[in-house]
């Protein structure tokens, strides 16, 4: 019998929770039969949304009425008490009762609570926030996306190893191709930290990834590289710019297709291709940022996503555990 993956779920974090969280679990169990859910939150509310279709043997509700609010600062969230649904979710991983934690709640609070409960992987100085971005050939792993405003060349080297390990956990049959995000592709471009990181990566021999040099922002989506490394300041700006651009394109496209009769006819004729394009840009299908560098992985689902997006974050959790992410990182850090 296959051992079930145990996922700790903060049921109270994010918009429209716990309904969307429970709906996501119901959606996910249609395909995945090897996950056990430790659900943390107000049992009286959660039970209103649990259908009889959900097998009693695949979940356990851990009752708490206390929760972290989106308006809480990271410091106030940490002081709020150890009986919040978010704290108990992360603590479940710390106590080895769950394999991985997921929340759609307050991002800053989740990172602080994760760092208070979980140790860093030995030889890694800072955790990084990573996420999936679509490209022409599949997906990129991009990090750091805001956990660290300033980074040293050692941090960027660590992020490269962690990002490549994450990519191999999610896509074990593909080669991880690492590149540093920079203002140019020439070796002499960039600041001293970037150039020093380039030298470190160029000299490092690693069987789990191939170093491809620099990548410019306009080439991120080409798919020639699939692990993109930068500091949290630059990464967060790149993320917000990409999200805004994607939303702008899709909204303008929608306007064009519905503004007149010819556009509507064209949309009907091309409905299949339009659905594929929409799905490619739909953030729900690559929802789930991953805080890596700690001894246990923590996944942050977007707070405003719906149950489909949260279900896809659960899929990310499953792949991370099946791909043995933490051990991959430990094997490559030296």
* DSSP sequence for 58-76: GEEEEE--B---TT--HHH
The answer to whether residue 327 scores a pLDDT higher than 80 is yes
Query: pLDDT exceeding 90 applies to what percent of the chain?
Result: 62
The answer to whether residue 185 scores a pLDDT higher than 70 is yes
- The distance of Cα 44 from the centroid of its chain, to the nearest Å, equals 30
* End-to-end C-alpha distance for the chain, whole angstroms: 36
- For residue 87, which of 110, 120, 62, 69 has the smallest C-alpha distance? 110
Confidence band for 293, pLDDT divided at 50, 70 and 90: very high
Contact (Cβ atoms closer than 8 angstroms) between residue 300 and residue 130: no
Tell me, what's the pLDDT at 120?
95
Please state which of the four CATH numbers 3.40.190.10, 3.40.718.10, 1.10.10.60, 3.40.50.970 is assigned to the domain occupying 125-292. 3.40.718.10
Look at 53-67, 203-217, 258-272 and tell me which has the smallest mean pLDDT.
258-272
What are the sequence ranges of the domains in the chain? 1-120+294-323, 125-292
Tell me, what's the pLDDT at 53?
73
Confidence band for 281, pLDDT divided at 50, 70 and 90: low
Domains 1-120+294-323 and 125-292 share a fold: yes
Alpha helices per DSSP H over the chain:
19-28, 43-46, 74-79, 85-94, 107-117, 153-170, 192-203, 232-258, 261-269, 271-281, 307-322, 325-332
Q: Is beta strand 298-300 parallel, antiparallel or unpaired with respect to 289-292?
A: antiparallel
Which of the pair, 42 or 256, is modelled with greater confidence?
Answer: 42
Q: State whether the Cα torsion 28-34-40-42 is positive or negative.
A: positive
The answer to whether residue 73 scores a pLDDT higher than 70 is yes
The answer to whether residue 273 scores a pLDDT higher than 80 is no
Helix, strand, coil percentages (3-state) for the chain, rounded to 5, are 45, 20, 35
Look at 30-34, 253-257, 277-281, 294-298 and tell me which has the smallest mean pLDDT.
277-281
Mean of the per-residue pLDDT values of the chain: 88
- Determine the average pLDDT of the residues in 21-32: 93
In angstroms, the CA 8 to CA 211 distance is 35
Tell me, what's the pLDDT at 105?
93
Confidence band for 278, pLDDT divided at 50, 70 and 90: low
In angstroms, the CA 14 to CA 67 distance is 11
Look at 233-237, 244-248, 271-275, 283-287 and tell me which has the smallest mean pLDDT.
271-275
Contact (Cβ atoms closer than 8 angstroms) between residue 49 and residue 25: no
Confidence band for 274, pLDDT divided at 50, 70 and 90: low
Tell me, what's the pLDDT at 186?
78
Tell me, what's the pLDDT at 205?
72
Tell me, what's the pLDDT at 246?
75
Query: pLDDT exceeding 70 applies to what percent of the chain?
Result: 92
What number of residues does the chain have?
A: 334
Tell me, what's the pLDDT at 134?
87
Which of the pair, 213 or 257, is modelled with greater confidence?
Answer: 213
Tell me, what's the pLDDT at 55?
83
Contact (Cβ atoms closer than 8 angstroms) between residue 148 and residue 231: yes
Q: Which CATH architecture has domain 1-120+294-323?
A: 3-Layer(aba) Sandwich (3.40)
Which of the pair, 56 or 27, is modelled with greater confidence?
Answer: 27
Which of the pair, 181 or 304, is modelled with greater confidence?
Answer: 181
- For residue 211, which of 201, 221, 220, 219 has the smallest C-alpha distance? 201
Which of the pair, 43 or 53, is modelled with greater confidence?
Answer: 43
């Amino acid at each position: 019998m296959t051992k079930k993956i145990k996922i700790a779920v903060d049921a109270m974090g994010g918009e429209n929770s716990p309904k969307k969280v429970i709906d996501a679990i119901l959606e996910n169990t249609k395909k995945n039969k090897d996950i056990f859910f430790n659900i943390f939150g107000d049992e009286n509310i959660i039970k209103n949304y649990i259908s009889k279709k959900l097998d009693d043997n695949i979940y356990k509700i851990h009752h708490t009425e206390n929760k972290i609010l989106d308006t809480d600062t990271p410091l106030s969230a940490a002081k709020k008490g150890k009986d919040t649904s978010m704290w108990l979710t992360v603590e479940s991983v710390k106590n080895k009762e769950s394999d991985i934690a997921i929340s759609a709640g307050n991002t800053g609070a989740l990172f602080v609570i994760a760092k208070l409960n979980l140790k860093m992987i030995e030889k890694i100085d800072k955790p990084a926030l990573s996420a999936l971005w679509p490209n022409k050939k599949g997906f990129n792993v991009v990090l750091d996306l805001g956990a660290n405003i300033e980074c040293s060349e050692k941090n960027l080297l660590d992020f490269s190893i962690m990002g490549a390990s994450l990519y191999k956990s999610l896509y074990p049959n593909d080669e991880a191709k690492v590149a540093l995000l920079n203002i140019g592709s020439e070796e002499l471009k960039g600041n001293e930290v970037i150039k020093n990181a380039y030298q470190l990566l160029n000299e490092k021999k690693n069987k789990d990834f191939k170093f491809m040099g620099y990548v410019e922002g306009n080439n991120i989506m080409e798919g020639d590289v699939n692990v993109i490394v930068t500091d949290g300041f630059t990464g967060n700006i790149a993320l917000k710019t990409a999200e805004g651009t994607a939303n702008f394109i899709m909204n303008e496209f929608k306007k064009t297709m519905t503004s007149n009769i010819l556009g509507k006819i064209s949309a009907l004729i091309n409905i299949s291709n339009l659905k594929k394009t929409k799905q490619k840009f739909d953030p729900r299908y690559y929802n789930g940022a991953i805080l890596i560098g700690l001894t246990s992985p923590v996944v942050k689902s977007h707070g405003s996503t719906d149950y489909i997006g949260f279900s896809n974050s659960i899929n990310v959790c499953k792949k991370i555990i099946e791909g043995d992410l933490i051990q991959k990182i430990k094997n490559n850090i030296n």
